[in-house]
């Protein structure tokens, strides 16, 4: 009979363990594709005039790049960096249901200013852009004022006339030349002067885009905006073409064209592979002869660099359980994923944070740095009390992912009672006595010993082997088998009152 009983106990244990494992399968997370995943901004007008407020459009987008309404208050900071380096920061808040806002900002300097937007708590991908502010001055006249005493101004002598001759290579410059029409000796006329022409208007090359860990995601479709600005006061009288060479990826418009009467041209630059410093260079312009504005960093103004980052759409749990028991120690894993929910190995290390909303569930560690080449990270969950605790995993520039986990005790109680019952039964078989007394004793001391083990002992024990339901079962079984002596031994080990 003892052999059959032991065999039955083992079968019961296997069944209980299998049932518990099935209940801890990963709960598939709901599709959050419609939630805001990105915040971007762009100037409402391609070019603005000095003295006017510059309107900026700020939009919330989902992970597929479509407009997404805020599901809670979303605060963001807009930073404006002027050509001189002066900066100003403005705050905006999206109320629930809003997906777009317009923010007028003053920019008191002419030239190209950089504008960036970032969610205050860095849970969304941010972005940057550039905006042009042009002077309000009138076009310069090509006529020479009469009776000018400026020595650089050409004096008109008898028998001469002034003509405007175009300078080769640019229609924007005129050379004033005095043509003699008299046959009198030239010596009796004052020397003829040539006016100094204005310098050629400059162009400026800039690249902007997402701020997903400092750059644009390399997914083959998210654009880094390549912009070329015309900095002249007067409007262009013809189209200007800017030919580009680039280190990787592809560009949709090459050359970039700044059309007649406008002041900016743009192209979309995408990459399918991450690269820390992708480069783009101006190869030629048509018409030739344009110079490029220095950006103040000492580098070549015809060259710009941009970072293409890992193609990460978000982070998700791999094995999050719906529930765990009070005695379990569960290793929870999360991984970076792309839009197809496939893991993304990192080309640059990232921090991952695990948090809970209450003390019922302990987490260790709470922060992990995922190294280059890896795509997941894990933390250990240790329950400390009954109830429900929400675990969140997050990484900078991405929305945190929550997962509620229920901490149960019924299964542990049942195993404790079962262990105590079987312990008392085995004690009766081993030494006879009264069956009822043995079973009641086994139930009581097994339950007390299990409580002491779970509440007092487990928080002090880090060995994962002891943090499971089978350990509770065997503690109750052994104490129930040994009777009151076993309970006394357990109480002394945990400094509990003897009984």
pLDDT digits (tens, 9 = 90+) for 373-415: 999 999 988 887 778 899 999 999 998 999 999 887 665 556 5
d(CA 130, CA 201): 19
My answer on whether 418 and 271 are in the same domain is: no
pLDDT tier at 196 (50, 70, 90 boundaries)? very low
pLDDT tier at 79 (50, 70, 90 boundaries)? very high
Please determine, for residue 304, whether its predicted confidence score (pLDDT) is greater than 60.
Answer: yes
Give phi and psi for 420, each to the nearest 5: -65, -40
- Lowest model confidence (mean pLDDT) among 176-190, 373-387, 405-419, 467-481: 176-190
What CATH number does the domain containing 353 carry? 2.60.40.10
> CA 293 from chain center: how many Å?
31
Please determine, for residue 430, whether its predicted confidence score (pLDDT) is greater than 60.
Answer: yes
Please check whether residue 181 lies inside any domain of the structure.
no
pLDDT value for 175 = 33
Within a 10 A sphere around the Cβ of 54, how many other Cβ atoms?
21
My answer on whether 320 and 268 are in the same domain is: no
d(CA 326, CA 320): 16
pLDDT value for 34 = 78
pLDDT, mean of residues 205-219: 93
pLDDT tier at 324 (50, 70, 90 boundaries)? confident
pLDDT value for 411 = 58
pLDDT, mean of residues 81-108: 95
Please determine, for residue 266, whether its predicted confidence score (pLDDT) is greater than 80.
Answer: yes
Please check whether residue 42 lies inside any domain of the structure.
yes
d(CA 385, CA 454): 10
Last residue of a domain, one of 283, 309, 335: 309
8 A C-beta contact, residue 439 and residue 425:
yes
Give phi and psi for 460, each to the nearest 5: -100, -5
Write the pLDDT tens digit of every residue in 39-53: 999 999 988 999 999
Within a 10 A sphere around the Cβ of 457, how many other Cβ atoms?
18
Please check whether residue 258 lies inside any domain of the structure.
yes
Q: 472: domain range?
A: 2-19+410-493
pLDDT, mean of residues 312-322: 91
Closest by Cα among 321, 365, 314, 320 to 335: 314
The pair of structure tokens assigned to 274 is 């991450």
What does the longest C-alpha to C-alpha distance in the chain come to?
A: 149
Instruction: Name the pairing type of β-strands 100-105 and 111-119.
Output: unpaired
pLDDT value for 295 = 75
d(CA 267, CA 309): 19
233 vs 346, residue with greater confidence: 346
Query: Based on the number of CB atoms within 10 Å of its own CB, is 430 exposed (0-12), middle (13-18) or buried (19 or more)?
Result: exposed
Give phi and psi for 278, each to the nearest 5: -75, 145
For residue 198, whether the previous peptide bond is cis, meaning omega lies within 30 degrees of 0, is no
Please determine, for residue 210, whether its predicted confidence score (pLDDT) is greater than 70.
Answer: yes
Helices 469-482 and 435-451 sit at what angle, rounded to 10 degrees? 140
My answer on whether 121 and 206 are in the same domain is: yes
My answer on whether 443 and 333 are in the same domain is: no
Please determine, for residue 85, whether its predicted confidence score (pLDDT) is greater than 80.
Answer: yes
pLDDT, mean of residues 308-315: 94
Q: Look at the chain and count its residues.
A: 499
Q: In what order do the strands lie in the sheet with 224-230?
A: 203-208, 224-230, 264-270, 250-251
My answer on whether 88 and 213 are in the same domain is: yes
- Lowest model confidence (mean pLDDT) among 136-140, 158-162, 339-343, 461-465: 158-162
Closest by Cα among 26, 36, 21, 22 to 316: 26
Domain count for the chain: 3
Write the pLDDT tens digit of every residue in 222-249: 999 999 999 988 889 999 999 999 999 9
Q: Calculate the average pLDDT of the chain.
A: 75
My answer on whether 400 and 331 are in the same domain is: yes
Last residue of a domain, one of 285, 309, 333: 309
Which DSSP letter does residue 212 get? Answer: S
Q: How is 366-386 classified by DSSP, letter by letter?
A: SEEEEPTT--EEEEEEEE-SS
The pair of structure tokens assigned to 385 is 């009390």
- Lowest model confidence (mean pLDDT) among 123-127, 227-231, 323-327, 426-430: 426-430
Please check whether residue 9 lies inside any domain of the structure.
yes
Please check whether residue 177 lies inside any domain of the structure.
no
What CATH number does the domain containing 61 carry? 2.60.40.1930
My answer on whether 120 and 228 are in the same domain is: yes
My answer on whether 89 and 212 are in the same domain is: yes
My answer on whether 215 and 339 are in the same domain is: no
Please check whether residue 359 lies inside any domain of the structure.
yes
pLDDT value for 422 = 62
Give phi and psi for 286, each to the nearest 5: -135, 110
CA angle 93, 99, 101 (to 5 degrees): 55
My answer on whether 383 and 439 are in the same domain is: no
d(CA 398, CA 400): 6
Please check whether residue 60 lies inside any domain of the structure.
yes
My answer on whether 333 and 367 are in the same domain is: yes
Closest by Cα among 48, 46, 70, 71 to 59: 70
Within a 10 A sphere around the Cβ of 372, how many other Cβ atoms?
10
- pTM (2 d.p.): 0.68
Closest by Cα among 88, 81, 85, 86 to 129: 81
Closest by Cα among 297, 127, 132 to 227: 132
My answer on whether 473 and 349 are in the same domain is: no
Please check whether residue 45 lies inside any domain of the structure.
yes
pLDDT value for 37 = 92
Half-sphere exposure of 205 (CA within 13 A, CB side): 25
Last residue of a domain, one of 374, 407, 440: 407
In Å, how far are 198, 259, 443 from 110, measured between CA atoms?
19, 20, 85
In Å, how far are 27, 34, 35, 212, 402 from 30, measured between CA atoms?
9, 11, 11, 23, 11
- Lowest model confidence (mean pLDDT) among 192-201, 206-215, 429-438: 192-201
């Amino acid at each position: 009979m003892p052999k059959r009983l032991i065999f039955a106990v083992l079968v019961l244990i296997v069944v209980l363990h299998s049932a518990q494992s099935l209940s801890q399968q990963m709960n598939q997370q709901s599709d959050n594709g419609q939630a805001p995943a990105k915040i971007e901004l762009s100037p409402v007008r391609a070019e603005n005039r000095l003295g006017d407020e510059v309107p900026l459009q700020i939009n919330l987008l989902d992970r597929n790049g479509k407009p997404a309404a805020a599901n809670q208050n979303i605060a963001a900071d807009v930073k404006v960096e002027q050509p001189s380096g002066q900066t100003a920061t403005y705050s905006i808040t999206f109320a629930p249901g809003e997906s777009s806002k317009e923010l007028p900002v003053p920019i008191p300097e002419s030239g190209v200013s950089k504008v960036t937007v970032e969610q205050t708590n860095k849970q969304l991908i941010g972005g940057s852009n550039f905006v042009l502010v042009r002077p309000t001055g009138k076009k310069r006249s090509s006529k020479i004022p009469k009776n000018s005493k400026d020595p650089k101004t050409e004096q008109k002598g008898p028998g001469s006339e002034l003509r405007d001759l175009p300078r080769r290579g640019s229609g924007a410059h005129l050379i004033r030349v005095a043509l003699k029409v008299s046959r009198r000796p030239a010596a009796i006329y004052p020397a003829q002067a040539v006016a100094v022409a204005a310098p050629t208007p400059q162009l400026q090359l800039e690249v902007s885009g997402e701020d997903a860990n400092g750059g644009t995601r390399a997914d083959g479709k998210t654009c880094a905006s390549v912009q070329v600005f015309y900095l002249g006061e007067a409007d262009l009288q013809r189209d200007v073409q800017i030919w580009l060479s680039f280190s990787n990826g592809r560009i949709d418009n090459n050359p970039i064209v700044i059309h007649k009467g406008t002041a900016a041209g743009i192209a979309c630059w995408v990459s399918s592979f991450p690269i820390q410093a992708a480069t783009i260079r101006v190869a030629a312009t048509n018409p030739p002869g344009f110079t490029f504005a220095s950006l103040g960093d000492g580098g070549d103004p015809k060259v710009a660099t941009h970072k293409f980052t890992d193609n990460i759409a978000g982070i998700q749990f791999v094995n999050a359980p719906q529930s765990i028991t009070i005695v379990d120690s569960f290793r929870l894993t999360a991984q970076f994923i792309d839009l197809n929910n496939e893991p993304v190995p990192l080309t640059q290390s990232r921090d991952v944070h695990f948090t809970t909303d209450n003390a019922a569930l302990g987490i260790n560690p709470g922060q992990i740095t995922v190294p280059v080449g890896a795509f997941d990270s894990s933390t250990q969950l240790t329950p400390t009390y009954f109830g429900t605790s929400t675990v969140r995993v997050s990484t900078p520039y991405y929305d945190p992912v929550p997962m509620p986990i229920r901490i149960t005790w019924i299964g542990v109680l049942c195993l404790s009672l079962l262990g105590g019952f079987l312990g008392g039964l085995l004690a009766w078989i081993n030494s006879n006595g009264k069956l009822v007394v043995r079973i009641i004793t086994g139930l009581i001391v097994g339950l007390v010993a299990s409580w002491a083990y779970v509440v007092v002992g487990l928080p002090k024990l880090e060995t994962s082997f002891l943090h499971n339901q089978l350990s509770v079962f065997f503690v109750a079984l052994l104490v129930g088998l040994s009777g009151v002596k076993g309970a006394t031994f357990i109480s002394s080990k945990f400094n509990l009152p003897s009984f």
